[in-house]
Structure 1
């Protein structure tokens, strides 16, 4: 439940009455004084030390705002090699080269010396480390219910239209799941394109918002997001995997003084190495995610191109209200109702909270600013759309076609409702 508090005091900068939502630290809705405040009661700890989390939050808030101002009113379609993208690609290449070197040198040590030999032990360890650190390119989520064109021709037809409108390739795999979310990505060395639609979200959106959702997700196939690139993806995982491998584990129990001292020194070395690797991972990811956030802005622009500015903006507002969406879906799914009732209930909830939307958009900037966030705050994403040229929809989903698409997913909706009922 969202509680709104006004009259909590006067802004010391402009005199406007401050406001608060959801027990947040008050801020000024006029000049946004104190919007950058660190609110420990509403944020998960990133490092565990309050003073560090406060400092990194301020850094993230400033970096997020600076990027927004740089992109406001500028073309977003250039996915060329910026500084962040170049650095990510170079580091990924170096990491992959290092892993290959480990494997090659380790293999040479195994075959170059006669058995038994300590060099062979070192070689086996190096090969094992290379295998553990090898790039992983993901696979299709086993919980995803994969659809076929024969099974859902209307949905696939809509996906084809949206992809053509924004110049994106069609996904190789389309599926649904029970998440209040949707995502698009590439898996495997061949980078098979996957589109996943969460049924609670998909069923609760209006026709225009569904087109915008498809436009945004398919836009990830052409917006240059480094998280999805074959050449840049290793930068997001390799150093973290190495830090986890070197995390100290106590292996000696009892034993003499020499064993205890050796174990303590070994664990101290592992601790330092693990922290250095993890620190390097955090720095690299925080830099790479700046480009991911730019890619999200571009995906929003592509959504507006295909669904129109109004529908794309409404979609972002819907994502701000996922708490209300989840409640509406659960209540009506347990009552045996389908997506038509979810949609009307969610529409009613959004209309009832319409006066709080401007505050929710502002609060999202505080809540969602992070050095490790792949998405910019929803409030800034909507503001950037509002500052760009107005766009009319190029693909229109009619009510009749929407009903046919939902009819194709009848079994999947029913399966989701049973899951909600069983979950209590």
Structure 2
């Protein structure tokens, strides 16, 4: 239900009536006055201090909207200034060099002196530290059900068609799981390309929005997202791992006054060092994620090129209705129904919420702004696609072909239906 304020709630900028959803701080739907308001009742604390959370939110909101203003109306294929990518890449190389130096020093301390020698202990410690700080290349999710071409030829054919249409390499692993989500990425030292489709989301989308979803996810293989490149990955993981390593852990209790004083001093030093490392980690992550958000806009653009602008916009609106999708899928699953009924139920809930969609898009700009958000707010992503040029679909998925794909996934749909039915 939409609560509309009147009287003293009138917009001081344009005198229009302010609006609110779910008791959020009111804003003006026309000129967007007060849309940037910090709403602590509806935001999870990121740092634990109200004044810091308020300041970082204001900074994130300004950075997010300025990036949108800078990108809107220009070709998204052009990455623009490379400052964020350059900083992230340099930081990654320095961190990798530091970890390698630790490893080399550790080996030297072990082999350069005869055993037994205290240097051996230090060398082993340095090797252990280098190992703990090593880059993580990721692995396949344990919940991912990997599909084969023989089992799902229609789905693989569609994936290949969409990949070719946007100029992206086809994924080497295609799988499904039970989340209301989808993702694409690379895992392992060999950097295998992985595409995962969450069946509650996939089964709830109409045909052309499924093409848009594939276009967006496969677009991550060509959009320059720093989270998915080997060169920049250390910058977003290594300092966080280092902060966890040096953070003090309570292991003993009791002891004399000298032990208590020594422990307190050691803890103080560790907390300061952990704080500095974690602060540097947050700074690098926030820099890298500016470029990551630009990459998301480009992935949306690729989705529009392959599926058509209306379908891509519809897909983004579906992300705003995640709770409605979850409720509809759970209700229909408990009634014993599969993706056909999921899709009909979700379409009904989206139709019922159509009048408040513009407000949901605006509110998302406030509520999804964060220094550490991997995606731009859904409302800004939708707004970016709504402007010219409008794209016609280059890949069309017919209802008959969609039905054949769903038939290939019938066993997986049934498993997800049971899991959803049993969930709380």
Whether these two folds match at TM > 0.5 is yes
Structure 2 regions of 5+ residues with no counterpart?
none
Q: Displacement of 1:227 after TM fit? A: 0.1
Q: Counterpart in 1 of 2:265?
A: 265
Q: What does 1:259-338 align with in structure 2 at a 5 Å threshold?
A: 259-338=259-338
Q: What does 1:32-111 align with in structure 2 at a 5 Å threshold?
A: 32-79=32-79, 82-111=82-111
Are 1:152 and 2:134 counterparts? no
| TM-score between the two structures when normalised by the length of structure 2 | 0.98
Deviating above 4 A after TM superposition, structure 1's stretches of 4 or more consecutive aligned residues are none
Q: Counterpart in 2 of 1:5?
A: 3
Of stretches 77-86 and 126-135 in structure 1, the one that deviates more from structure 2 is 77-86
Distance 1:149 1:253 in 2: 59
Q: Displacement of 1:388 after TM fit? A: 3.3
CA contact (8 A) 1:307 1:395 kept: yes
CA contact (8 A) 1:182 1:217 kept: yes
Distance 1:257 1:21 in 2: 57
Q: What does 1:115-154 align with in structure 2 at a 5 Å threshold?
A: 115-154=115-154
Distance 1:116 1:250 in 2: 31
Distance 2:81 2:33 in 1: 36
Distance 2:5 2:389 in 1: 36
Q: What does 1:8-27 align with in structure 2 at a 5 Å threshold?
A: 8=6, 9-27=9-27
Q: Displacement of 1:226 after TM fit? A: 0.2
1:73-105 per-position Cα deviation (integer Å, ceiling 9, x unaligned): 111112477100011011011101100110110
Q: Displacement of 1:251 after TM fit? A: 3.3
CA contact (8 A) 1:95 1:235 kept: yes
Q: Counterpart in 1 of 2:223?
A: 223
CA contact (8 A) 2:109 2:119 kept: yes
CA contact (8 A) 2:24 2:42 kept: yes
Distance 1:390 1:348 in 2: 26
Distance 2:81 2:157 in 1: 34
DSSP 3-state at the match of 1:158: helix
Of stretches 272-281 and 9-18 in structure 1, the one that deviates more from structure 2 is 9-18
Aligned residues: 422
Distance 2:423 2:221 in 1: 35
Distance 2:160 2:132 in 1: 39
Q: Counterpart in 2 of 1:395?
A: 395
Of stretches 77-86 and 278-287 in structure 1, the one that deviates more from structure 2 is 77-86
1:318-356 per-position Cα deviation (integer Å, ceiling 9, x unaligned): 111111111100000111111111111111111111110
Distance 1:203 1:143 in 2: 18
1:101-132 per-position Cα deviation (integer Å, ceiling 9, x unaligned): 10110111011112222211111111110011
CA contact (8 A) 1:235 1:284 kept: yes
Q: What does 1:309-388 align with in structure 2 at a 5 Å threshold?
A: 309-388=309-388
1:262-295 per-position Cα deviation (integer Å, ceiling 9, x unaligned): 2111111100000000000001100110000000
Distance change in 2, residues 1:60/1:80 (3 Å): closer
Structure 1 regions of 5+ residues with no counterpart?
none
Q: What does 1:195-210 align with in structure 2 at a 5 Å threshold?
A: 195-210=195-210
Distance change in 2, residues 1:80/1:7 (3 Å): closer
CA contact (8 A) 2:183 2:196 kept: yes
